[in-house]
Chains A and B, each alone.
Chain A
Amino acid sequence: MDIVNKWLVFWEKFGTGGAWQRVLGEGLVNTLLIAFIGLLMGIVIGTLIASVKVMPKYKLLPRILDKICGVYVGFFRGTPIVVQLLLAYYVLFPLCGINIGSLNTCILVFGLNSGAYVSEIMRGGILSVDPGQMEAGRAVGLSYGTTMMKIVVPQAVKHILPTLGNELIALVKDTSVVSFVAAIDLYKTFNEIGNKTYEYLMPYLFMALIYIVLVALITLGIKCMERSLRKSDRSN
């Protein structure tokens, strides 16, 4: 049987041949590192940008910041992630004499990219919070920034958690392009198996399976978080 044969060839390399160690130890770990640290960076950057975007704009400083954020979001949403990776790794960093390795470059670029998307998600979340919450915070003498971080953003996060989960899922899958800049991820390690055995069916099927399991686990995790954040909603 052809398929059994293909499986045996794959398993010889993946299981008994020990390639799984590289797949899980390096490929999977890097994929998760890039996606999770990228999202964390994205949440921080996105929250900051969103806070600037919803700021009242009487003064000059918020207006300048708003323009800068606009350019930032425009660039990162307007170009494909591959282009951003290539630009950073082969053009920008060598030009500036920065050498932080391909994995760190990927984490950085994914973080910056995700920041642009999260900022729009976060802005929607912040706008969905009752303006009375901000007023109440200001009325007891808290500053705009303190009220934002202690009162408004936590409530916004609760609203946008499902969308943020989507962003994480998208990030996990988008990491499959990082081999463009010589980083090792899930795709790269499975592709290596295929290259060595000249047999791609099983490695790619297996790769797809791992991505599906990853996404399923993330979905589950998000659901659990949502439930615990619902505490402050009507509970009894």
Chain B
Amino acid sequence: MIEAINLTKRYGNLTVLDEISETIHEGERIVIIGPSGSGKSTFLRCLNCMEDPTSGSIMFEGVDLTDMKVDINYHRQRMGMVFQQFNLFNNKTVLQNITLAPLHIGLKGVRDREKRAQIKADIEANAHKLLQRIGLDDWADKYPSTLSGGQKQRVAIVRALAMNPKVILFDEPTSALDPEMVGEVLDLIKQLAEEGMTMVIVTHEMGFAREVASRVFFMDGGKIMEQGTPEDVFERPQCPRLKEFLSKVL
């Protein structure tokens, strides 16, 4: 579904991603691990062109996202993204955070007033359903600043879900959380995994990686050094760099 072809990203002389070619199929749960500065997050952010690759291309459902003529906004609607720092819209309530983009897109070009009201009601009902799922429907009209970190991240995940994305990209979703809140966020991601959502997750939580991944990428120095099932990567690491990394984090 997503195919990176010779993906390269440079900042000046520093090569962050070095000619990565990789295909991610529908239903896969890719977990990317690796030391800091290995290019994990940059790789993830290149997948929906939040960072423009220096060269190479990203094919998403047969469309080259790096082509300047492509309507990137349209394709991003179908690729959810969850950030380390949550990035909920601070000036919107929890409910508005979820409905903002669907409303903006759903109401575009619709003039008929009744139809608009209907679309709005549907989108809001869906948002409430999503909030109920994470047990935060009572918070619908509160502002994000009143939520805990774990609650914020769960709302952020639901915000991505509200667009019915084909794939969700998680950029270290638990790194900014208090330890006791990590569990609630990981549980939600696991639920999504069980439902068959395609996802790409950058994380430092090795236990979680092993549990949720269908395939694990180990990145170092801008390359995917090793990949395989969680069993292969964690039990039978091949490359010395991965062995060293695992010995430090496990």
Contact = CB atoms under 8 A, between A and B. Distances in A.
Interface of A: 130, 132-133, 135-143, 146, 150-151, 154-155, 158, 231-236
A132 B50 contact: no
A141 B145 contact: no
Nearest to B145: A234
B101 A142 contact: yes
A170 to B, nearest CB: 27
Contacts of B144: 232
Contacts of B48: 139
A151 B91 contact: yes
Contacts of A150: 100, 104
Given A135-B50, A140-B101, A141-B163, A233 B145 contact: yes
B87 A140 contact: no
Contacts, number: 78
B6 interface: no
Interface stretch (B71-79, B112-120, B198-206, B221-229): B71-79
Contacts of A137: 89
Contact of A136 (B73, B88, B104, B143): B88
B146 interface: yes
B4 interface: no
A133 B87 contact: yes
Contacts of A234: 145-146
B143 A140 contact: no
Nearest to B93: A232
B145 A143 contact: no
A140 B159 contact: yes
B89 A136 contact: yes
B90 A146 contact: no
B237 to A, nearest CB: 33
